[in-house]
Amino acid sequence: MPEETIFRKIINKEIPSEMLYQDDYVTAFRDISPQAKTHILIIPNKLIATTNDIEIKDEILIGKLYTVAKNLAKQEGIAQSGYRLIMNCNDDGGQEVYHIHLHLLGGQPLGKLVTL
């Protein structure tokens, strides 16, 4: 997997984004093609290509993604009404950028997920 992704450029502020949060470990910004009224991407600053590439040493970092998501949901005013968190993995899972990212979706009823 490539080391250079569009997300790396966003983390490094080489391309513009609507940045909502950034620290030494995590960056969060609005999705440029939102699928809901609120659609935020939360990414680790460390490149991890897919969920299959998460290692034991990444457990705290992955937990931080969810803590940031929770805080952003509260900041966006959607924590009480509800929201969805999604992480896609590989082509069949719908992953388009090979740098893991957590989608925070909300601000409207999202309906049920398709189940098999």
Look at residue 112 and tell me if it is in a domain. Answer: no
Look at residue 26 and tell me if it is in a domain. Answer: yes
Query: Could you list the active site residues?
Result: 101
d(CA 111, CA 51): 25
Look at residue 49 and tell me if it is in a domain. Answer: yes
Asked if residues 74 and 21 have their Cβ atoms less than 8 Å apart, the reply is no
Domain residues for the domain of 95 are 6-106
Look at residue 81 and tell me if it is in a domain. Answer: yes
Query: Sheet holding 38-44: strands in order across?
Result: 19-22, 26-30, 38-44, 102-106, 83-86
Number of domains in the chain: 1
Amino acid in position 4: E
Q: What percent of the chain has pLDDT over 70?
A: 96
CATH number at residue 37: 3.30.428.10
Tokens of 69: 């998501």
d(CA 116, CA 99): 27
Look at residue 72 and tell me if it is in a domain. Answer: yes
Q: Mean pLDDT for the chain?
A: 94
Query: What pLDDT score does 10 carry?
Result: 96
Asked if residues 99 and 7 have their Cβ atoms less than 8 Å apart, the reply is yes
Give the predicted TM-score (pTM) of the model: 0.93
